[in-house]
Structure 1
């Protein structure tokens, strides 16, 4: 199990990290701290494999100084940056200091999922083998965006997702949760989880529509019926 420390001053983003991490196999969120000083203090007494780090925080000027301290003090830990900082100087500095990945806020689950599964692939390869082959390294270092296992959020099934998606791409125009639920044959509560996941992949949009009679109705619409990203989850 990969032990994770989250360094994030925004409690809402911290909760989002916590929620996302529970959806990805192989990771254990151990602690959340709100600034660099707290991070250095807790790292003196506890060991982690991965730090998910914001850049703009109280305490030190920013998370880049914490990343520099981590390298200076030779902590055996990897770092993924998740930050609203999108200027090239900060991104270049983070990568030069050895950040494994850099995710720009706001972000979707799919990008977070990809980053962590890329990391898990490399972590498992390095930890499990004492001698590595070039092609194995290439898959996890040079070609991080290919041949990566992606995982569905807990509670979702790839066969059901495939069925839901197959029904959606048959529809021209908008549709409701109830309509897809009837076509697939599962409850509205369950179908909503699949629709929200597809929305997080930017395959669906959701809009509020007011009819002439009755309450407003939320309707989904397929944005891209030919998107390849869905294949990662249903193959």
Structure 2
């Protein structure tokens, strides 16, 4: 069982982490810390396998906490889950040993991918007494691509191809409504396809706050040259 410490100052987000962890096999949420100071106290008292770490927190922020975790030589791995999306912040987290980085807002599929990739790497190494280069290469180059390239239940291959072609024509960020209008398909149906593309890491979802009205979620195509979609539509 992989023992998890969540470090998250937002109680609502902490509840999402707890809910998601309960859906995953071989993972157990042990403690939740609301501050870096509280997290350090937890780490000094007992052992964990994995820390899910936010960056924007009052007092000591997540990057400072990550540095402290390394300075104190705590035997624990870290996955950052944060709205911090500046290149420098991500680079700093990776330099201090974060094994993955999830940008908020995120969906369960990305959370599931991160934790299960972590479990696979961990299991592969634990099962080896002496590590050969080929074993290490295989372990360090786990691809975040689906092993099952069938279109998920409820999605249609032709519709998937149509929506992806529409996305490729978008020069800027776009909303669910904009794609629904172009495709002539209901907003509810379009969202399912967009979330599937997001789970493949070819789309990102960002929150935009206008001067008036409700916040708007917009999608951004991360890689128009990606060939991963071809596995599903060919």
User: Normalised by the size of structure 1, how large is the TM-score?
Assistant: 0.66
Task: Show the counterpart of 1:201.
Answer: 196
Task: Show the counterpart of 1:72.
Answer: 71
Task: Show the counterpart of 1:19.
Answer: 19
SS in 2 for 1:165: coil
User: How much has 1:229 moved relative to structure 2?
Assistant: 9.6
User: CA contact under 8 A between 2:113 and 2:144: conserved in structure 1?
Assistant: no
Deviations 1:10-67 (A, max 9, x none): 111111111111222221111111010000001111210000000111121x111111
1:54 aligns with 2:49: no
Q: 1:119 to 1:34 in 2, by over 3 A?
A: same
RMSD (Å), alpha carbons: 3.2
- Please list every run of 5 or more consecutive structure 2 residues that lacks an aligned counterpart in the other structure: 161-182, 199-226
- Please list every run of 5 or more consecutive structure 1 residues that lacks an aligned counterpart in the other structure: 151-158, 181-194, 204-225
The alignment of Structure 1 onto Structure 2 pairs a total of residues equal to 183
User: Normalised by the size of structure 2, how large is the TM-score?
Assistant: 0.66
User: How much has 1:162 moved relative to structure 2?
Assistant: 4.8
Task: Show the counterpart of 1:10.
Answer: 10
Q: 1:67 to 1:167 in 2, by over 3 A?
A: closer
Deviations 1:127-166 (A, max 9, x none): 222212222222332x23247779xxxxxxxx9x855335
Task: Show the counterpart of 1:84.
Answer: 83
Structure 1 or 2, whichever has the larger Rg, is: 1
User: CA contact under 8 A between 2:49 and 2:77: conserved in structure 1?
Assistant: yes
Task: Show the counterpart of 1:43.
Answer: 43
User: CA contact under 8 A between 1:2 and 1:26: conserved in structure 2?
Assistant: yes
User: CA contact under 8 A between 1:118 and 1:140: conserved in structure 2?
Assistant: no
Task: Show the counterpart of 2:216.
Answer: none
User: How much has 1:97 moved relative to structure 2?
Assistant: 0.6
User: How much has 1:169 moved relative to structure 2?
Assistant: 5.0
Matches within 5 A, 1:85-124: 85-124=84-123
